[in-house]
Amino acid sequence: MCDQTFLVNVFGSCDKCFKQRALRPVFKKSQQLSYCSVCAEIMATDGLHENETLATLKSEAESLKGKLEEERAKLHDVELHQVAERVEALGQFVMKTRRTLKGHGNKVLCMDWCKDKRRIVSSSQDGKVIVWDSFTTNKEHAVTMPCTWVMACAYAPSGCAIACGGLDNKCSVYPLTFDKNESMAAKKKSVAMHTNYLSACSFTNSDMQILTASGDGTCALWDVESGQLLQSFHGHGADVLCLDLAPSETGNTFVSGGCDKKSMVWDMRSGQCVQAFETHESDVNSVRYYPSGDAFASGSDDATCRLYDLRADREVAIYSKESIIFGASSVDFSLSGRLLFAGYNDYTINVWDVLKGARVSILFGHENRVSTLRVSPDGTAFCSGSWDHTLRVWA
C-alpha cells in the first residue's frame, strides 16, 4: 500500500550560510536543520581522520557487517524447533467468530483493545474512528477525522482517551466523554507532527506519552500535554510501518519495522538503535514482542513471519509454508507466547505453534485482506480488522 517516498527538493535559505540553495535535512543532536549541500558536506567532514574517505568508510562498513554475521553465526548451535521437540504438541483448536462488528464504511486499517478487556477502538479508510463494546457490539463513540486513511489508532492505558492519525501526518488525542453535549472533536489535541503519513502509534505506560512511527522514516516520542517532541529515532532507510513497546517489566525499549525490510530495536532514553535485523525479503508490516520481552515476531510482505531472539541477537524461527504466498499484515502472540496469530492478505488468519514452527490452525471468515489483529489483554479472545469493512472477535 505505501508508495515509495521520494526526497523532496526544498529551496530556501541555508541554516548555516544563509545562501539561497537547494536544502537537505541534517540532524544535529536530534534537532532537524536545513543545510545546503556544501554546508552539509563541511559538517560531515568535521573531525574526519586524515585517511577517512567515503570509500574506506564503506569498505569498513562492509567488513563490519561480515563480522556481525560471523559473531551471530558462532552462537547458532541449534534450531528452536529442535529444542522444542521435547514439548508436547498442541491439540486441536476450535476458534470461531463470536462477534462481528459492523459499521465502518470502508476498509478497517487498525484496531486496539482497551485495558478493560472489552472495549475496542478501530479506525478506517473512510476517516472514522469508532469505539465499540465488544461484548454487545454496540458503538459507544465515533469521531470523524479530517483526513481519510486513518492508519493508526490506540487506546490510552486509563481507557479515557484514544489516539489516531494517518494521512494528516499527525497523531491526535481525543478524550472520551459520555456527555452528549460535548463533541469529541472539540476536545481534540494534536500531539505529533511528522512530515509524512502516520503508520503506527502507541501510548507508553501512561496517558502522558505517545510513541509514533511514520512514512517519513522516523519514530518519535511525544509528551501529550505539551505536544513536545521528547526523543526522535532515526535509522530506518524507508517508511516505518509498525512499532511495539517492550512489556513493562523489561524496560525502556521498543521495536519498529519498515519498508527497508529491517526490524530495529531502540533505547527510548538515548534514541539509539541497539539491535537491527534484516532477514525479511520485503516490507515488515507488523512487529510484536514475545510476552517475556526477550524476543519479538515480525510479519512481512514476503509471506513469512519470523521470530528474533534479542539475547541471541538473531532470527530463531521462520513461520512459512509454500502454500502461503500473500503477505502477513499483522501478528500477535497469545498470553503464554505459545501461539502466534497472523493475519494475511489472502483473507485468512493462520495460527502458528511458536516453538515447533508448525501451523496449528487456519481461520476463514473475512471477505478481504486482514489488515490488523490484536489479542485481548486477558488473552481470552483476539480481534481482527479487515478491508471487508468489519472487525471480528474470535475465541
Partner 1 sequence: MSSREAFGCDIGQARRAVEQLRMEAGIDRIKVSKAATDLLQFCTEQAKSDPFLVGIPAATNPFKEKKPCAIL
* Closest CA relative to residue 118, chosen from 385, 377, 386: 377
Element spanning 76, H or E: none
Binding mask 356-385 for partner 1 (x = CB under 8 A): ----------------------xxxx----
CB 78, min distance to partner 1, A: 5
- Pick out residues in 275-294 that bind partner 1 (CB under 8 A): 275-276, 290-292, 294
Query: Within 10 A of 117 (CB to CB), how many other CB atoms are there?
Result: 15
Name the minimum Å distance from CB 183 to partner 1. Answer: 31
Q: Which residues pair with 133 in a beta bridge?
A: 119, 138
**Binding positions for partner 1, 69-98, rule CB under 8 A:** 71-72, 75-80, 83-84, 87, 90, 93, 95, 98
Residue type, 138: N
Which residue of 175, 227, 337, 377 would you call a contact of partner 1, by CB under 8 A? 337
Q: Is 159 exposed, middle or buried (0-12, 13-18, 19+ CB in 10 A)?
A: middle
Q: Catalogue the long-range contacts made by 139-143 (C-beta closer than 8 Å, 24 or more residues apart).
A: 139/103, 140/176, 141/176, 141/184, 143/174, 143/184, 143/185
Residue 45: CB minimum distance to partner 1, A: 6
Residue nearer to partner 1 on the CB measure, 174 or 233: 233
Stretch binding partner 1 (CB under 8 A), from 62-70, 150-158, 200-208, 279-287: 62-70
Site for partner 1, residues 184 to 223, rule: CB under 8 A: none
Nearer to partner 1, 203 or 277 (CB): 277
User: Which of positions 109-148 make contact with partner 1 (CB under 8 A)?
Assistant: 118, 134-135
Interface positions, 145-184, toward partner 1 (CB under 8 A): none
Distance of alpha carbon 297 from alpha carbon 291, whole angstroms: 11
Cβ count near 372 (within 10 Å):
24
Q: Are 281 and 300 in contact (CB under 8 A)?
A: yes
How far apart are CB 51 and partner 1 at their closest, in Å?
13
Contacts 24+ apart (CB under 8 A), 246-254: 246/289, 246/293, 247/289, 247/291, 247/292, 247/293, 248/205, 249/293, 250/292, 250/293, 250/294, 251/293, 254/202, 254/211, 254/219
Question: According to CB under 8 A, which residues from 6 to 45 bind partner 1?
Answer: 7, 24, 26, 40-41, 43-45
Interface region with partner 1, contact rule CB under 8 A, candidates 8-16, 107-115, 187-195, 232-240: 232-240
Nearest in space to 134 (alpha carbons), one of 392, 377, 366? 392
Q: Compute the least distance from the CB of residue 353 to partner 1, in Å.
A: 10
Parallel, antiparallel or unpaired: strands 339-344 and 170-175: unpaired
Q: Can residue 61 be called a binding residue for partner 1 (CB under 8 A)?
A: yes
To the nearest 10°, the Cα dihedral for 126, 129, 134, 139?
-90
Could you say which of 273, 347, 358, 368 contacts partner 1 (CB under 8 A)? 273
Of 13, 18, 30, 65, which lies in the binding site for partner 1, with binding defined by CB under 8 A?
65
Comparison of 170 and 261: residue with beta carbon closer to partner 1: 261
Stretch that binds partner 1, among 68-76, 102-110, 178-186, 298-306 (CB under 8 A): 68-76
**Which listed residue (1, 2, 208, 312) binds partner 1 by CB under 8 A?**
312
In residues, how long is the chain? 395
Residue 27 CB, shortest distance to partner 1, in Å, is 9
Of 38, 89, 185, 274, the residue at the interface with partner 1 (CB under 8 A) is 274
Quote the cell numbers at residue 323: 502454500
What whole-number distance in Å separates Cα of residue 363 and Cα of residue 378?
Answer: 21
Q: Report the largest interatomic distance among the alpha carbons of the chain, rounded to a whole angstrom.
A: 70
Q: How far is the CB of 52 from partner 1 (least distance, A)?
A: 8
Smallest distance, partner 1 to C-beta of residue 97, A: 10
